[in-house]
Amino acid sequence: MISFRQLSFSKITRFKTTVLVFALMLGLLLTSCGKKYLYDDVHTLPADGWNKNQKERFIFNVPDTTNTFLFYLHVRNEIDYRYSNLYVFMETQFPNGNITRDTLECILAEPSGKWTGRGYGRLKENMILLNPTIKFPLKGSYTIDIEQAMRDENLEGITDVGIRIERNPR
């Protein structure tokens, strides 16, 4: 016959084992997810608008040149943003000092006026895929500056901008 003490000890041991297994699984999940991105950062813009002279700077390191990546522009807008798109200038400085400058259009609403992206309430979030197979030519530190290229002195309704560089699963 099992005593009350043995039963309690057995339940406590089983509970501790369950908690330990859960903690290990959670740790593995978080560790594996952390390796998905080379870089992921978002900057919150001023509440009074994104000034046309304000550059948002992102600096990241590329450790090797053999992998390909998915390159995203991350944009959050309010539902009362008055345009259906967003033009930005993106300037990239390479580790060797060379600089490229691109003009990009981000579609934030369908022709019908329906917002693209995800989100409920007043914000919509768009992850705009700029390049599905980018391969960095040089190891080292890259700097990307993003500035709004709309005609507004202070562009209202864009709340956040960022970049995500995700390891290509292929």
Structure tokens at 166: 């995700």
Structure tokens at 111: 């022709």
pLDDT given for residue 120 in this prediction:
87
> Beta strands of the chain (E only): which ranges?
37-44, 50-51, 56-62, 69-78, 85-93, 99-107, 123-134, 140-148, 154-155, 158-167
Which residues fall within 8 angstroms of residue 88, CB to CB, at 6 or more apart? 73, 103, 104, 106, 146, 147, 148, 149, 161
pLDDT along the chain (170 residues), means of 10: 56 57 51 74 97 98 95 98 98 98 98 94 96 96 99 97 94
pLDDT given for residue 4 in this prediction:
53
DSSP-based helix, strand, coil % in the chain, nearest 5: 20, 50, 35
SS3 108: coil
Residue 29 carries which side chain, given as an amino acid letter? L
Do 88 and 130 contact (CB within 8 A), yes or no?
no
pLDDT given for residue 19 in this prediction:
52
pLDDT given for residue 55 in this prediction:
98
The number of helices, as runs of H, and strands, as runs of E, in the chain is 1, 10
